Structure 1
Amino acid sequence: MKNPKSWRAELYTGSSADFKIYFFDVETGKLIQTFKTLTNTITALQFSDDDHYLAIGAYVEDNMGGIAIFKKDRATGLYDLHKHLKEFGEGKISSLDFDSNGRLLVASKGSNVRLFDDKFNLLKEIKGSGTFPNSAVFSPDEKKIAIAYLDAAEIDVYSAQKYNLLYHPNIGELGASAFRTVCFSQDNKYLFAAGGVIEPLE
């Protein structure tokens, strides 16, 4: 998760027990705000680069869950519900990532990787090497998108402008059957991925 400057004084944490988000002042420990987001287990949380939006993902099943977008009230510093994104198949929302233009990149078990514009309208669906994307991130220069899958021993790297596949990194003889997470180094020179031998998903 990215660290907006406001985290010097604020902290958000999610609870899987009551589906709520808790907003604390990290210096005093004081609870500032509590709000219920989605009626299911919270699985991902991400701030926009400008700290203006907070995206919260929850497990999707029986028409519950999805992504809740909260918008910051500049006067109070608190977040109010702005939009609810529901267009996902069943499964957990596994990763969320914003770029500096406000685009939101979403990986979820039940659907393709989805890219939303700064108004949170669907911009593009990316169908990659696997059917269960677990991690999708922008590169620091925001020219690439990397995707890791729970059901494929492959990393996909796409253009973040034209959305075409650029390359598959050579993973050599790692022996991994899947990758759970992927990220770029801050200087854009390296791509990191972590995974292992994972049982096939049914």
Structure 2
Amino acid sequence: MAKRELTSAELTLLKRAAREVRHGMVVNLGIGLPQFLPEHLPADTDVTFHSENGFVGMGEGNPEGTPDSDVIDAGGRACRVVPGAAFFDSLTSFAIVRGGNLDLAVLGAFEVSVSGDLANWKIPGKLTPGMGGGMELAQKANHVLVISHHLDKRGRGKLVPQCSLPLTAPACVGTLITERAVFRRVDGRMQLASVHPDFDRESALEGIDADVPSAENLEPWEDKS
């Protein structure tokens, strides 16, 4: 669905994020890095992808590798549909979202607070076309998974004590995955759940100016490739 050169850090976090996708899920992919997630899922993982502009059953390019220019996802990218797909109007599409029928929403972020607040739609002073469907996805998906670079362009951690940018939704992020670590929200607060083998706890928290507790037993870092 998405085509560009991925960095090694991006490949690392996408492979780890693929572990969060379970067989039979209905999943919505946000714009950006989340659009690359399908190519990192095992071939035998049966997942239905939802696009909020009006269909379920979104696939990648056709077998020859060329997307169908008549089928556009919510990010404006050409894609295709798989057997069993269905098309519908925006009212129905957002009824699916608001009705709690999405098992997982995979989104990007500018900031995630330690309380699970999400800011991913606007940087003040920069042109922004609008929030799109991000607010509904963040509030109504059964689980919100954020995948993001560990640090921003200024070397600051994306996990922050409190979001300084306009919120998409409060207390909505269940899991945050970066190239260094996995964080999960437990009892209303993000905690360190897993660390990439190339890092230790200290380096996994580098740049994060917040008190982030660790899980009693850290999860192993594995990927599906």
Q: TM-score, normalised by structure 2?
A: 0.28
Higher relative contact order (CA 8 A, sep 6+): 2
**Which structure dedicates a bigger proportion of its chain to strand?**
1
Q: TM-score, normalised by structure 1?
A: 0.30
